[in-house]
A = this chain, B = another copy of it.
Amino acid sequence: MTDVAIIGASMTQFGEREGWVSDLLAEAALDCLDDTGVRAEALDHLYVSNMASGEFEGQTGVPNALAHDIGALGAYTQRVDQTSASGGAGIYAAWQSVASGASEMTLLVGGEKMTHRTTGETTDVIASLTHPHEYKHGVTLPSFAGLTARAYLDRYDAPREALAEVAVKNHHNGVDNPHAQFRKEIDRETALDSPLVADPLRLYDFCPITDGSAALLVCPVDVAREYTDTYVRVAGVAGATDTHVVHERRDPTTMDAVVKSGERAFEQAGITPDDVDVAELHDMFTILEFLQYEDLGFAEKGAAWEDTMDGVTARDGDLPVNTSGGLKSKGHPLGASGVAQGYEIYTQLAGEAGPRQVDADTGVACNVGGFGNCVTTTVFEVDG
Contacts and interface: CB of A to CB of B under 8 A. Distances in A.
Nearest to A372: B64
Interface residue SS majority, chain A: mixed
Interface in A60-94: 60-61, 63-65, 67-69, 72-83, 89, 92-93
A52 B60 contact: yes
A58 interface: yes
A179 interface: no
Contact of A374 (B63, B69, B243, B374): B63
Contact of A64 (B54, B79, B92, B370): B370
Given A93-B93, A96-B102, A101-B1, A58 B128 contact: yes
Interface string A353-378: 00000000000000001100110100
Contact of A79 (B75, B82, B100, B102): B82
A131 B93 CA distance: 26
Centre residue among A59, A68, A77, A93 by max chain B CB count within 10 A: A77
Contacts of A83: 60-61, 64
Nearest to A99: B100
A115 interface: no
A132 interface: yes
Interface of A: 1, 46, 51-52, 54-55, 58-61, 63-65, 67-69, 72-83, 89, 92-93, 95-97, 99-102, 125, 128-132, 238-245, 260-261, 369-370, 373-374, 376
Given A61-B369, A99-B102, 8 more contacts: A51-B60, A61-B83, A61-B244, A63-B241, A64-B241, A72-B241, A76-B374, A100-B100
Minimum-distance CB pairs A-B, first 4: A76-B239, A61-B129, A99-B100, A68-B244
